[in-house]
């Protein structure tokens, strides 16, 4: 048994979709969550800036007695995972490969769609990983730059013409490609899954990358003993906004209100 905590970080509140799944499937684990709310979003920034921010996020989590770090952010996982993993002395789990593995199990036709931030799509890492694992796959990527602001402003519901119009536009080329599996390669996007599913139709399987990463963690880490795990939350801006948005991502209340940390010290 390994009672050390699991560190999880994201650019902001989106990574809580991974924490939610960790709570469901590994309720004994202590979790330390960091959300970089003072510098969110990451997905529109350059690879150098994303790497710099990711290194600071890892250094902050290394202050705690942790057994692994989950990068619950597709942008960081796509752009900086290998570099920070090589520099860090605990296992680092990203969301990209777990999401790919789930998509490879789900697809019947070999046509897979991937939607994410501009940085994730530009990195090309999803297409490389999927086709390396199974040559001949047809992978279709599409950036959805307004989905993160929509999720952060609660504009995610069926019947709202704003997310519905943008989802129809962004997803049109993915639909035209006839995919049967769609990776939501941004931890904010599961909040829009109702609207996305309406556009894609019932025959397309949606893959939640944060949940996939959480399931991958369970298969990999020595678990904590039989007890109730505790989760602490840290953010780099005033915790008020995070505390207000978090229950929607966690699908339940925060166990503790978030604490503030100055990430530029790391």
Say which of 32, 54, 73, 212 is annotated catalytic: 73
Residue 166 engages a second copy in binding (rule: CB under 8 A): yes
For the bound state, the minimum distance from the C-beta of residue 264 to a second copy, rounded and expressed in Å, comes to 5
Residues 206, 123, 219: CA angle, nearest 5 degrees: 50
Asked if 45 touches a second copy (CB under 8 A), the answer is yes
Query: CA–CA separation, 34 vs 22, rounded Å?
Result: 15
Nearer to a second copy, 66 or 235 (CB): 235
Choosing from 6, 50, 127, 186, the catalytic residue is 186
* 150 makes contact with a second copy (CB under 8 A): yes
Q: By three-state DSSP, how is residue 7 classified?
A: strand
Residues in the chain: 266
Supply 258's token pair.
């978030």
186 is catalytic: yes
User: Widest CA span of the chain, in angstroms?
Assistant: 50
Closest CA to 69 of 20, 25, 8, 2: 8
Q: Is 240 in the site for a second copy (CB under 8 A)?
A: yes
H or E element, residue 205? strand 205-208
145 binds a second copy (CB under 8 A): yes
When the beta carbons of 40 and 214 are compared against a second copy, the nearer one is 40
237 binds a second copy (CB under 8 A): yes
Q: Are 8 and 72 in contact (CB under 8 A)?
A: yes
Q: Is 122 a binder of a second copy (CB under 8 A)?
A: no
Q: Which active-site residues does the annotation give?
A: 73, 186
- Residues in contact with a second copy by the rule CB under 8 A: 37-39, 44-49, 145-146, 149-150, 152-153, 155, 161-162, 165-166, 236-238, 240-241, 264
């Amino acid at each position: 048994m390994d009672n050390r905590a699991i560190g999880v970080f994201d650019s902001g509140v989106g990574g809580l979709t991974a924490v939610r799944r960790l709570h469901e499937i590994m309720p004994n684990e202590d979790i330390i969550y960091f959300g970089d709310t003072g510098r969110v979003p990451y997905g529109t920034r350059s690879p150098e800036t994303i790497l710099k921010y990711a290194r600071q996020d890892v250094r902050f989590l290394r202050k705690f007695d942790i057994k692994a770090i989950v990068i619950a952010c597709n942008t960081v996982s796509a752009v900086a995972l290998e570099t920070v993993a090589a520099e860090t002395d605990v296992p680092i789990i990203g969301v990209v490969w777990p999401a790919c593995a789930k998509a490879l199990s789900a697809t019947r036709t070999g046509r897979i769609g991937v939607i994410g931030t501009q940085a994730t799509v530009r990195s090309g890492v999803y297409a490389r990983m999927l086709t390396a694992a199974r040559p001949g796959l047809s992978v279709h990527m599409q950036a959805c730059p307004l989905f993160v602001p929509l999720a952060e402003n609660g504009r995610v519901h069926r019947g709202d013409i704003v997310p519905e119009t943008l989802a129809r536009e962004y997803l049109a080329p993915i639909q035209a490609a006839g995919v049967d599996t769609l990776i939501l390669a941004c931890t904010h996007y599961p909040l829009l899954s109702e609207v996305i599913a309406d556009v894609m139709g019932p025959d397309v399987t949606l893959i939640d990358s944060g949940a996939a990463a959480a399931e991958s963690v369970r298969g990999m880490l020595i678990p904590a003993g039989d007890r109730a795990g505790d989760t602490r939350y840290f953010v780099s801006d005033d915790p008020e906004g995070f505390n207000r948005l978090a229950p929607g991502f966690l699908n339940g209340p925060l166990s503790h209100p978030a604490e503030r940390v100055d990430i530029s010290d790391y």
